[in-house]
């Protein structure tokens, strides 16, 4: 496991430091995540990866995503009962989920370490992960309703 406190380095270094092999499939899946920052599900990543790598299977995509998460190159985003989505944005941020179209957008935090600081967490709790999800109407849906 890489030290998550150090600055994110390149894909090659991160993958090889974690003891995982640099496979073309992993790189393709990572490129798909970086290509469109819309928090795709594994199935969506699979459909996109297939365009350039027709032989890739859904199981391989799942494995690649798992590796990227293990290496700290991507985060899982869970939206209620929906399929897990994947996010390559490693800076601390919250998510905005559109209740109309389901789009998930990144919302930056005002200050680093900000999410946990928004709450009065008693000192006897050790926060390891924090997640914030806002719900409402995205700009696209607001415009089309006008």
Q: Which residues bind Zn ion (CB under 5 A)?
A: 87, 89, 98, 100-101, 103, 106, 138, 141
Rounded least distance, CB 17 to Zn ion, Å: 23
Rounded least distance, CB 100 to Zn ion, Å: 4
Asked if 86 contacts 77 with a C-beta cutoff of 8 angstroms, the reply is yes
**Residue among 52, 45, 97, 53 at smallest CA distance from 69:** 45
What is the C-alpha separation between 133 and 76, in angstroms, rounded?
13
What is the C-alpha separation between 10 and 124, in angstroms, rounded?
36
Rounded least distance, CB 93 to Zn ion, Å: 6
Rounded least distance, CB 141 to Zn ion, Å: 3
- DSSP-derived secondary structure letter, 118: T
Residue with Cβ nearer Zn ion (23 or 133): 133
What is the C-alpha separation between 47 and 57, in angstroms, rounded?
10
């Amino acid at each position: 496991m890489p030290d998550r406190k150090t600055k994110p380095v390149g894909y090659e270094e991160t993958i090889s430091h974690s003891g995982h092999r640099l496979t073309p499939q992993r790189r393709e899946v990572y490129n798909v995540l970086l290509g469109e920052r819309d928090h795709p599900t594994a199935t969506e990543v699979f459909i996109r990866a297939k365009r350039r790598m027709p032989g890739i299977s859904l199981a391989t995509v799942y494995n690649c995503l798992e590796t990227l998460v293990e290496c700290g190159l991507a985060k899982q985003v869970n939206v209620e009962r929906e399929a897990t989505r994947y996010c390559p944005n490693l800076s601390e941020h919250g998510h905005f989920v559109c209740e109309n179209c389901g789009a998930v957008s990144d919302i930056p935090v005002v200050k680093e370490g900000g999410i946990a600081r928004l709450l009065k967490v008693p000192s006897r709790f050790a926060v390891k992960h924090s997640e914030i999800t806002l719900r409402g109407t995205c700009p696209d849906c607001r415009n089309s309703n006008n």
